[in-house]
Chains A and B, each alone.
Chain A
């Protein structure tokens, strides 16, 4: 218990003091997970919309795969991305392993099924009759898609929250493909593991508070937008 109290006290000091290493780690986490979430949105929203609005043989299989992907263990993604990016691996020419770009890649793989799955559910919740009505009013296919996506925009904010929340707090993939290199690929979660390993529980507690505040802040902003528009 003493460790916790003392940890929280030191954590507040570290945060208020604007410790430079912690700022670097925080900024990198934001950049990496933000970029990965954006990529996931760019891939996942169109994919989810198409899956929701089309019917083809094997569609149930694809949707099942997406739903499984929503729970993809980060450490599995980390392992396979590492092997792909190894110098001796198929993408070795890119020399990307142990860089922030490698973490972005792995996290985008983790977040994409989440965004796809939530978009799929959100778009499917828009009644089919509403789509028919749009066609009846003379909407083109593209106009119909635009209107349907706008109808589904509130549940889709949940996709951003779930995607971002999933990747900023994951550790397995960041550790494996990033390597937790100081000043280069050290993120909030990998730094936490390292500091715990070093016995610096106060710093680890400071980092965990920071992570929670960050995720809460972003969810708060998005939830505010979502709830205001819902009224």
Chain B
């Protein structure tokens, strides 16, 4: 028993640093954001840059867009980077989030199995394609998680006047990568952002079916959190991060990101081009 006690004490001493000295609140910025900015690796490049430039320490909470916005609206974050314009505008109108500005965009696309059971390959209108998928009862995998991608997918069904339902409509409840895997396995259609598709390109046999429609724009905006939302919101830190995302140097980094790995950029920077989807030029091809 004595030897065991000794082992315990030695372990306590060795592990003591695990409880870290908490950085003063004002130097820590909490960023709530969507999974695609993290999974694409963009934040791994931008966050260290911001920390070096400003001395702030960033805690990046990467969750679905719905949750990221809800956390920010509760004052559990200081700044948010999301991609669900309609939902974002709702929060801005309520006053919980403020100063919404466009940062960058890329596009969504409908992908599906080579066999293309709903015959949508090459369609110009994504709404027509969604109608055909529903009419053919072809399998479709939805994120089903209130993410930016899911919210966009729901708006497409609404445009098409279709209420998707089982058995052909499958809700994965998982991230984009896992959802692509399920769609691949089930030979189903799904809507994906281009960055994740590029990252998973080699793992799935799904082919691009519909792309280039204006409805498929994927626009990322930064918003500051209203300090009135809750106690301890670091308004200055949130403002600094938002300003950083829009700075010319940062926008240049975004423009170059992904070229070395995928041979094409994953995001197009658009800071300063207004705050509405209508201000964005046609999607990339």
Residues of A participating in the B interface, judged by any CB pair closer than 8 Å: 3, 28, 30-32, 34-35, 38, 41, 86-88, 92, 94-101, 104, 149-150, 153, 179-182, 184, 194, 196-199, 201
A179 contacts which of B15, B59, B178 (Cβ < 8 Å)? B59
Q: Which of A38, A41, A87 contacts B15 (CB 8 A)?
A: A38
26 contacts between A and B (CB under 8 A): A28-B18, A31-B17, A31-B18, A32-B18, A35-B15, A38-B12, A87-B230, A94-B22, A95-B28, A96-B22, A98-B59, A100-B20, A101-B18, A101-B22, A104-B18, A150-B1, A179-B61, A179-B62, A181-B60, A181-B61, A197-B39, A197-B175, A197-B176, A197-B177, A199-B199, A201-B203
Using a CB–CB distance below 8 Å, which chain B residues touch chain A?
A: 1, 4, 8, 11-12, 14-15, 17-20, 22, 25, 28, 30, 35, 38-39, 41, 44, 47, 59-62, 74-76, 175-178, 199-200, 203, 230-233
Please, how many angstroms separate the alpha-carbon atoms of A198 and B177 in the complex?
7
Whether A100 lies near B35 (C-beta < 8 A) is no
What's the nearest-Cβ distance from chain A to residue B32, in Å?
10
Whether A34 lies near B18 (C-beta < 8 A) is yes
Q: A87-B231, A92-B231 are in contact. Are A199 and B177 (CB under 8 A)?
A: yes
On chain B, the residues within 8 Å of A150 by CB distance are 1
A44 to B39, CA, bound (A): 39
| A residues less than 8 Å from B75 (CB atoms) | 87-88
Most buried by B among A86, A92, A184, A198: A198
Once the chains bind, are B1 and A153 in contact (CB under 8 Å)? Answer: yes
Cα-based distance from A96 to B59 in the complex (angstroms) = 12
Which B residues are in CB contact (< 8 Å) with A99?
A: 20, 22
How many Å from the CB of B143 to the closest CB on chain A? 13
- B60: min CB distance to chain A, Å: 6
A182 CB contacts on chain B under 8 angstroms: 44, 47, 60
Chain A residues within 8 Å of B199, by CB: 198-199
Q: Which residue of A lies closest to B176 (CB)?
A: A197
Determine if B22 and A95 form an interchain contact, defined as CB atoms under 8 angstroms apart: yes
Q: Give the distance in Å from the alpha carbon of A97 to the alpha carbon of B175 in the complex.
A: 23
- Residue contact B8 to A199, C-beta cutoff 8 Å: no
CB distance from B92 to the nearest CB of A (A): 21
